[in-house]
A and B are shown apart, each in its own frame.
Chain A
């Protein structure tokens, strides 16, 4: 009797503690949002909607508008994701389904090692190795042969939207790959064997048994990759050229939201300037939320259409 009472107390205590931790996460997010809204109020009042539709950022005149930063962040992250997602999926499939076991383990370990490299190291590598290479080799080639397409017009500066896309791609491949790998490993062996037993080739087995089962997990991996890309600050700041402009050309320098915060916050002495930077932080938060919700919605509609398999 006494014993079971003790048990019950222990359970209640455990539940209480776990609940407290869970709720504290929500509380932290709400508090953070509240502070950010409060801090960016002067900027919201002064510029309203024009803050996200305009492109004049002039700290001397006290005029702030964030469209070029928003554009830079969204475009660089999406392009990086577009390049990284198929590469990562291929890499994960090779590790789990195609490679000899030892080789697979070796590659998987290397990929996880890549995920642990701090972003400033990627940035330094970017500015010292990748950017000079882009400038002397890749960009002149693109300009010479594809310069008639607006995407590849302009002068080869090295630092550019393209450099940012490449560095982000390299940074998010390890994350997407290692999560996708775990997802694929979770596909039941029996399901794969069933497909093979029906006479499927290896590719057909992957297509009908592996990929549908891992769909939601893989989408989760891609969203995490996008999360890292959109919030990445240091490495991007070092290679993107930090010029707030909206240019169709991938060779032109650009600017992102985290970069402008990192660049200007320390020396922002006027209240309006720091409020504007705070509002950029807020927009970044909202963009991340929107991207996340869209991805969830997409996942939900896909799994409803196809039914089964995905969870």
Chain B
């Protein structure tokens, strides 16, 4: 009796060991690294895709856009991911031609803590820039008050909060400020970490949100998904067409739709302050970075298959996870780009 159990156990063990070995040898492992902002949806995609194609396994390290760019340039990963597009110099440093594949879009939300004002604050883009420049210092400044008739704004100093850690969110936000304010553009500029003319630094979305929640009369900026999940109040911002627009998934997608006419073939475009009546002004793509010429033919093939799946099936999962999907006309363009990967 005992020996029978033992034998069957042993047989089971051997079988499972063989099975595991068999699987391991047939499985293609594709490594990627980069941006943290799209990490939740990427890991969702990879786990869903694993159910469709069992022969491939994706491993994604969310080490930050800077790290993603470094690793794909050094060739230590099969694909990179970034919230900011590479400069010409960075592209030149790469050993092959790197393609930018936009995957989804994110938006940055201006949040605030004003006692007595629970929502519905409206801000002109130039005013946001001047608040962050430290030029508008009081909440009841006429420039803010004029856009918010009926809202009781306190005669208190504005406490400005920004991200202290280098991040794609800051990169998009400062890009927006640069595009709406020449003074911001010349004095501060845009980047993952900048020299802030005013305010306090909080670490991560949670650091900024915590600071805003705890301190009266604050203003800060966080990712759209983070603001929605934590039910933070957000401001409507005036877009290029002169309309106040609330940040939503729809108004985020509208920004890319508005940009499609002047979309460059390599997708290296900033989506802030785009034309279109419904377009929210602080929006950015996030990209996967993939070499046009794949060294490993099998890996390349599997990667292209995944990219196609992500572009059509994966997009549908985006809104539920509070990412904005690519508009249809951009999907068509990206389809052609993916076809060029060899």
Is B166 an interface residue, CB under 8 A from the partner? yes
Chain B contacts with A in 111-165, Cβ cutoff 8 A: 157, 159, 164-165
CA distance A59 to B174 in the complex (A): 13
- Cβ–Cβ contact B210 & A253, under 8 A: no
A303 within 8 A of B: no
Number of B residues, CB within 8 Å of A: 34
Q: Which of A243-269 contact B (CB under 8 A)?
A: 243, 253, 255, 259, 262-269
In the assembled complex, the Cα of A218 lies from the Cα of B66 at a distance in Å of: 44
Q: Which residues of B contact A157 (CB under 8 A)?
A: 159, 200, 215
Chain A positions within 8 Å of B90 at CB level: 269
Contacts of B164 in A (CB 8 A): 237, 242, 259, 263
Given A241-B200, A242-B203, are A59 and B214 neighbors across the interface (CB < 8 Å)? no
Interface class of chain A by DSSP: loop
Contact A238 B203 (CB under 8 A): yes
Q: How far is the CB of A275 from chain B (nearest CB, A)?
A: 13
**Nearest-neighbor residue (CB-CB) of A56 within chain B:** B195
- Interface check A298, CB cutoff 8 A: no
Q: Is A267 touching B214 in the complex (CB atoms < 8 A)?
A: no
The yes or no answer to A61 lying at the interface (CB within 8 A) is yes
- Taking a contact as CB atoms under 8 Å apart, the answer to whether A242 and B201 are in contact is yes
**Which of B17-25, B102-110, B185-193 makes up part of the contact surface?**
B185-193
Q: Say yes or no: A58 contacts B195, CB within 8 Å.
A: yes
| CB interface residues, B 183-211, toward A, < 8 Å | 188-196, 199-203, 207, 210-211
Cα distance A8–B66 in the bound complex, in angstroms? 56
Per-residue contact bits, chain B 56-67, to A (CB 8 Å; 1 contact, 0 not): 000000011111
B199 nearest CB neighbor, chain A only: A243
Does B70 sit within 8 A of A, measured CB to CB? yes
In the complex, how many angstroms separate the beta carbon of A101 from the nearest chain B beta carbon? 44
A253 to B198, CA, bound (A): 12
- Whether B202 lies near A267 (C-beta < 8 A) is no
B248 at the interface (CB under 8 A from A): no
Contacts of B168 in A (CB 8 A): 267
Count of interface residues, chain A, beta-carbon cutoff 8 Å = 31
Annotate A60-103 by CB proximity to B: 1 below 8 A, 0 otherwise: 11000000000000000000000000000000000000000000
Contact of B201 among A61, A253, A262, A266 (CB under 8 A): A253
B167 CB-CB contact with A under 8 Å: yes
Q: Which residues from B are CB-within-8-Å of A268?
A: 66, 166, 192-193
Question: For the complex, is B69 an interface residue (Cβ under 8 Å from A)?
Answer: yes
Q: Which of chain A's residues has its CB closest to B174's CB?
A: A60
A128 within 8 A of B: yes
- Measured between beta carbons, the chain A residues less than 8 angstroms from B201 are 241-243, 253, 255, 263
Instruction: Please tell me if A121 contacts chain B, counting CB pairs below 8 Å.
Output: no
List the A residue with the shortest CB-CB distance to B201: A242
B215 touches A263 (CB 8 A): no
Residue ID in chain B nearest A252 by CB atoms: B200
- CB of A195, distance to nearest CB on chain B (Å): 52
Q: How far is the CA of A242 from the CA of B193 in the complex (A)?
A: 12
Do the beta carbons of B215 and A135 come within 8 Å of each other? yes
What's the nearest-Cβ distance from chain B to residue A307, in Å? Answer: 50
Q: Which residues of B contact A161 (CB under 8 A)?
A: none
Asked if A16 is at the interface of the complex by the 8 Å CB criterion, the answer is: no
Q: Is the CB of B190 within 8 A of A263?
A: no
A168 part of interface (Cβ distance < 8 Å): no
Of all chain A residues, the one with the shortest Cβ separation from B168 is A267
Tell me which residues from 204 to 255 in chain A have a Cβ below 8 Å from any Cβ of chain B.
237-238, 241-243, 253, 255
Distance between Cα atoms of A13 and B34 in the complex (Å): 48
The answer to whether A266 and B214 have CB atoms under 8 Å apart is no
- Which residues of chain A are near B167, meaning CB under 8 Å? 267
Ordered by A's residue number, 20 sampled pairs between the chains whose C-beta atoms are within 8 Å are A58-B194, A59-B191, A59-B192, A59-B194, A61-B189, A128-B210, A132-B214, A135-B214, A135-B215, A157-B200, A242-B202, A243-B196, A262-B165, A263-B166, A266-B67, A266-B166, A267-B166, A267-B193, A269-B65, A269-B69
Q: 4 closest pairs, A vs B, by CB?
A: A267-B166, A242-B201, A242-B164, A266-B64
**13 other contacts beyond A61-B189, A263-B201, with CB at 8 A cut-off?**
A128-B210, A157-B159, A158-B214, A158-B215, A242-B203, A243-B196, A253-B200, A262-B165, A266-B63, A266-B165, A267-B192, A268-B166, A269-B69
